[in-house]
């Protein structure tokens, strides 16, 4: 029984091999059959060029813990420094001033001497006298303006009683009464065809060729 079964198996294998060869030559005729040449369907993969994996270095747990603590301390130190400084504004030279002068503050500091009692009383009396003088001057000017305004209004009333046309001409604004022509001195003469700069800047745009 073994010999007839083996012969039948060989016949079947030869038929599959023949069909596979035929399909490789004419794949259109046998599209539903496998096109592998070998009857046992053994497949060989392409050789892969790989290098052996690197052996991992075993790190000392004590050294790893020390590095972690050092990193944590550095981060905590930076956080404390930022909290101490707070919100820093952009420095402005007009407000901050010259750092050299700020460093010489103690050298430039002047000691204020205490005034004598008589000197203080004299300054207070002088200040009061000046205030009284300016108050009287202000009241006198207001009085003069008031009297001039009353006289002007009285004259306009009399003029209106005489002639309405003259009154209308009198109350018109005289644009040439106070001509204003200003010729102010300049520190430096003007420069002809001068174009003022529109700010200084450095172009940092990257260019690629």
pLDDT of residue 60: 81
DSSP string, 39-78: TT----PPP---PPPPPPPPPPHHHHHHHHHHHHHHHHHH
Residue closest to 59 by CA, chosen among 51, 67, 47, 49 = 67
pLDDT of residue 142: 96
pLDDT of residue 40: 54
Distance of CA 195 to the CA centre of its chain: 28
pLDDT of residue 19: 58
- Count CB atoms within 10 A of the CB of residue 22: 13
Segments making up each domain of the chain, as ranges: 10-39, 117-170
Dist. CA 139–CA 132, nearest whole Å:
11
Q: What is the pTM of this model?
A: 0.34
pLDDT tens for the chain, residues 1 to 209: 445 554 666 666 666 666 555 444 444 444 444 455 555 555 666 666 767 777 777 778 888 888 899 999 999 998 888 887 766 666 666 676 778 888 888 888 888 888 899 999 999 999 999 999 999 999 999 999 999 999 999 999 999 999 999 999 999 887 777 777 777 776 777 788 887 777 777 778 877 65
pLDDT of residue 90: 65
DSSP string, 189-206: PPPTT-------------
Tokens of 79: 């956080």
Residue 176 is given by DSSP the state T
First to last CA, the chain: 82
Tokens of 156: 């306009």
């Amino acid at each position: 029984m073994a010999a007839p079964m083996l012969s039948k198996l060989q016949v079947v294998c030869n038929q599959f091999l023949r069909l596979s060869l035929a399909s490789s030559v004419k794949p259109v005729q046998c599209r539903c059959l496998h096109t592998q040449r070998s009857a046992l369907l053994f497949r060989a993969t392409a050789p892969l060029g790989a290098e052996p994996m690197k052996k991992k270095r075993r790190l000392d747990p004590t050294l790893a813990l020390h590095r972690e603590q050092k990193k944590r301390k550095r981060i905590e130190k930076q956080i404390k420094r930022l909290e101490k400084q707070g919100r820093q504004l952009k420095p402005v030279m007009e407000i901050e001033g010259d750092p050299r002068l700020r460093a010489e503050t103690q050298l430039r500091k002047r000691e204020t001497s205490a005034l004598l009692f008589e000197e203080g009383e004299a300054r207070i009396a002088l200040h009061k006298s000046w205030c009284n003088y300016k108050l009287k001057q202000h009241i006198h000017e207001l009085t003069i303006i008031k009297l001039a305004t009353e006289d002007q209004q009285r004259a306009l009333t009399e003029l209106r009683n005489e002639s309405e046309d003259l009154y209308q001409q009198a109350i018109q604004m005289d644009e040439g009464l106070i001509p204003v022509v200003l010729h102010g001195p300049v520190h430096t003469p003007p420069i002809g065809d001068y174009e003022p700069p529109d700010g200084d800047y450095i172009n940092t745009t990257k260019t690629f060729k």
